[in-house]
Amino acid sequence: MLPDKKHNPPVVLLVHGDGAQDRWSDGGYLPLVNALVAQGIGVFSWDKPGVTASTGDWLAQTLRDRADEAVAALHVLRARPELKESRLGFLGFSQAGWVVPKASQRSTADFIVLIGPAINWREQGFYYMQQRLAMEGAEPSEITAAIARERVAYSQRFTPQTVIQPCSSRCTRDYFERRNALSDARQDIAAQHVSVMVLMGLRISMFPRRKH
């Protein structure tokens, strides 16, 4: 979607977070898209594999596969004559925190914007577990012990050897999580050589605090 009557406008490529999302995230992106276009900024997005008109299966993807997809999309835009001198970059949400930094390094992106980006798959899971147990009223010592046990189990379940195993038949959510369980964006973020904007927000818990 390009703004009217603007020569070589900047364009953002939207990179989805988790889940089976179509190009406009079931309309959830449209307020942002309309605001960007009104400011003279073009927007490009696409359906995840297997969603609406797209072929394939997003559950069969690794985050590197998703980065390759984003790079291919940027190259398509670079080839368009009306965007020959445009600044092109990625705007990603949540899980795109693992995708966009990889894609940026392997493309000619001019900028990246990350909104609530994920950083480390394993540590994020432990954080959620810690918050859930706290909201359920667990004592700090109980939480510490539970996290320690989970760290051991995680290290045994997800190794460089297990995460590369293909799915046996139909790819499932468990398969997707196993393939990506060792994802860590810190090295990719540190290697960036383009302008980066990161937007984070305050966590608001949806778990009621237990009364004692």
CATH number of the domain to which 49 belongs? 3.40.50.1820
Asked whether residue 41 falls in the same domain as residue 144, the answer is no
In a domain, 61, yes or no: yes
In a domain, 152, yes or no: yes
In a domain, 205, yes or no: no
Q: 141 with 130: CB under 8 angstroms?
A: no
In a domain, 75, yes or no: yes
| pTM, to two decimals | 0.86
Asked whether residue 44 falls in the same domain as residue 101, the answer is yes
Q: String of b and e for 151-175 (b: at least 16 CB within 10 Å)?
A: eeeeeeebeeeebeeeeeeebeeeb
Q: 56 with 24: CB under 8 angstroms?
A: no
Asked whether residue 76 falls in the same domain as residue 112, the answer is yes
Asked whether residue 91 falls in the same domain as residue 52, the answer is yes
Asked whether residue 29 falls in the same domain as residue 93, the answer is yes
Asked whether residue 68 falls in the same domain as residue 102, the answer is yes
For 8-62, write each residue's pLDDT tens digit: 999 999 999 999 999 999 999 999 999 999 999 999 999 999 999 899 999 999 9
In a domain, 5, yes or no: no
Integer Cα distance of 133 and 137 in angstroms: 6
Give the chain's domain count: 2
Both tokens assigned to 193: 């050589």
Task: Label residue 207 by pLDDT band (50, 70, 90).
Answer: very low
Q: 2 with 77: CB under 8 angstroms?
A: no
For 118-157, write each residue's pLDDT tens digit: 999 999 999 999 999 999 999 999 999 999 999 999 999 9
Integer Cα distance of 81 and 77 in angstroms: 9
Boundaries of domain holding 133: 121-182
Asked whether residue 15 falls in the same domain as residue 85, the answer is yes
Integer Cα distance of 6 and 89 in angstroms: 18
